[in-house]
Amino acid sequence: MALFCVALDIDNREKFDFILAETISFVDVYKVGPIIMSSSCGLISLETLTQLRKDIFVDMKFFDIPSVVCRAIRNFCRFNSKFFTVHISAGEKVFRSAVEEANKFGANIAGVTLLTSSEYDEGVILNMSEKAKLWGASWIVCPPLFARKIKENLGMKIISPGIRLDENEKDDHSLSLTPREAAKHGVDMIVVGRPVILSENPNLVAQKIRNEIQHKEL
């Protein structure tokens, strides 16, 4: 069954505590990125999630020289960080170094093909996924519509962000599906942000998403 990940694009402690309390029973992984990590509750979020033994997905989309990327990964792995994103376009040396560093801590590198706000080119995504596979990654970040082909051709696991309860609500994501549809396409980690964190009842939304993932064939 696909992992359910909530994107914590939050910048204050009160909201973080509220979302965590409302969703923790249904969520497998919490994603932290530039918004929360640049706020006053960035370090607190890592400490809290680690104390609760929740897996952390560090979505910083690293694109820097190898020594900087590896040091950042090492620092994040002081906490319960299990997944990291690295741009495939950063090149082989950066990517292989990141994979090697993450492996020391039992963590995974997920290759970023194209940003979800971009217009997608299937050929580009498949080509970049092949590079990430060759360079040691077992996870790829891409829209759910490409998941089955990548899994069949390369045997990689798929992380899909921008999942919406209504597939017509794309926001700034060019391609979006519901949790149930994403699970049907074989996505291994379904990432949901705004539908949960902007909801007046995140507990109910999280429960609905979990149910959709569990009962994808209904």
* CATH number of the domain that residue 80 is part of: 3.20.20.70
- Over residues 100-121, the mean pLDDT reads 87
Is the pLDDT at 174 greater than 60, yes or no? Answer: no
Which pLDDT belongs to residue 104? Answer: 98
Which pLDDT belongs to residue 56? Answer: 98
Average pLDDT, the chain: 93
Query: What one-character DSSP code corresponds to residue 119?
Result: P
Is the pLDDT at 172 greater than 60, yes or no? Answer: no
Which pLDDT belongs to residue 116? Answer: 63
Residues in the chain, overall count: 218
d(CA 82, CA 96): 17
Contact 57, 82 (CB under 8 A): yes
Please report how many Cα atoms fall inside a 13 Å half-sphere around the Cα of residue 81, on the Cβ side. 26
Q: Kindly state the tokens that stand for 50.
A: 């680690």
Percent of the chain clearing pLDDT 70 (strictly above): 92
Determine the structural domain holding residue 157 and report its residue range.
3-214
Q: Is the dihedral of CA 195, 6, 170, 42 positive or negative?
A: positive
**Nearest residue to 102 (alpha-carbon basis) of 131, 71, 133:** 71
Question: How many separate domains does the chain show?
Answer: 1
Q: How many helices (H) and strands (E) does the chain have?
A: 10, 8
User: Per-residue confidence at 114, pLDDT binned at 50, 70, 90?
Assistant: confident
Which pLDDT belongs to residue 173? Answer: 46
Is the pLDDT at 67 greater than 80, yes or no? Answer: yes
* Higher-pLDDT residue of 174, 87: 87
